[in-house]
Amino acid sequence: MDTKQVLDAIADLKRSLSQILPDRPNRSADIKELSTALAKAQGEMKAASLNCENPYFKSSYADLSEIVKVSRPALSKNGLSVIQQILPNEEGHNVLHCILTHSSGQWIESRMRILPAKPDIQSFASHVSYLRRYSYAALVGVVTTDEDDDAEMAVHSEREIPTKPLPTNTKYNPRDLSYEVITKEQLEHLHYVLADAPDIANQILEGYRIQCLADMPKTKFQAAIERILEIKKVRAGK
């Protein structure tokens, strides 16, 4: 067997192993010191104020700067820091990695697939901003003065939307949902009415706690369209 055949065999073995080995861990082998430090930091954190408005759901929420402001002093005091970076996964898809590190070298990480409403830079930036805030708050344990205000759907108990967040240490499956999502035609119509208002798409993701527009509950489609048109009409001054 020549050198090329050996290298090809090794490459084949790596590909085979990648199919059976579990995804890389989302935490260091030991997180005892990190957990102790985080517990102390959380005891010192204040609740984040609802300093921004979501006009789509006519509600309020805390933006990333507010969440960082109420958490960073306590995190730094206890040897903790947060790193957020965008990296491609094995399939070449962009993933936001949010890593909480401790001065001991211990760490934990969450990963969220980046699925903007449209393939343009404005939609991408808006979606990443939402994911950064969501993952940061979830990872360090920041709460707001009213956890339900930034999600209109949480006010009504009959909503079908699940409150359990997507697991961040597994591959995202946009069809692993407990309710019926909108059809391809409805999604295309949704993209059409949002073509000149990509910021509203981010508000929809925020309010329904979904990761992409394709995951919108089918029962909410008509109400969503009417609300989008209402906002656009107000903006146009009509």
**Model pLDDT, residue 116:** 81
- Does residue 225 fall inside a structural domain? yes
- Does residue 5 fall inside a structural domain? no
- Does residue 166 fall inside a structural domain? yes
Provide the token pair at 24.
């890389």
- Does residue 13 fall inside a structural domain? no
**How distant is the alpha carbon of residue 48 from its chain centre?**
18
**Whose CA is closest to 98, among 46, 144, 61, 134?**
134
Counting as low any pLDDT under 70, the low residues of the chain are 1-24, 146-178, 238
- Does residue 1 fall inside a structural domain? no
**How distant is the alpha carbon of residue 78 from its chain centre?**
26
| pTM recorded for the entire structure | 0.60
**Model pLDDT, residue 79:** 97
- Does residue 104 fall inside a structural domain? yes
CA end-to-end distance (rounded Å), the chain: 76
Q: What is the distance between the alpha carbons of residues 81 and 208, in angstroms, rounded to a whole number?
A: 29
The helix/strand/coil state of 81 is strand
**Residue 205: C-alpha distances to residues 57, 149, 210, 212, 236 (Å):** 11, 14, 5, 7, 23
**Domain of 169, in residue numbers:** 24-235
Say how many CA atoms lie within 13 Å of 69 toward its Cβ: 11
Residue 128 bridge partners (DSSP): none
φ/ψ of residue 127, rounded to 5: -70, -40
- Does residue 219 fall inside a structural domain? yes
**Model pLDDT, residue 5:** 65
Pairing label, strands 80-88, 94-102: antiparallel
Q: What is the distance between the alpha carbons of residues 80 and 101, in angstroms, rounded to a whole number?
A: 6
- Work out how many domains the chain is built from and give that number: 1
**Model pLDDT, residue 146:** 66
Q: What is the distance between the alpha carbons of residues 219 and 39, in angstroms, rounded to a whole number?
A: 41
- Does residue 95 fall inside a structural domain? yes
